[in-house]
Amino acid sequence: MAEYICPHCKKPNFDDDALRCIYCGEFLNRRIGFLSDIRYSHVATAFIVILLLSFIVFFIIRL
């Protein structure tokens, strides 16, 4: 099981599924990191789609 250091009391939490620190009761902010990863992957997907569309438009103009 992975150790997670609480940002508030600096104590290690060993429960992977815990949303709150077992020592001080504050929210562990690792879920926010997970959500930002999803947002970044959406941005990357949108960038690839725009790149592909611009390539398609470029080839249509050349024909």
Q: Which residues form the interface with Zn ion (CB under 5 A)? A: 6, 8-9, 21, 23-24
Nearer to Zn ion, 23 or 55 (CB): 23
Distance between CA atoms of residues 63 and 44, nearest Å = 29
Min dist. Cβ of residue 40 to Zn ion (A): 27
Q: Which two tokens stand for residue 3?
A: 């150790």
Min dist. Cβ of residue 26 to Zn ion (A): 5
Exposure string for 47-60, b = 16+ CB within 10 A, e = fewer: eeeeeeeeeeeeee
Nearer to Zn ion, 9 or 56 (CB): 9
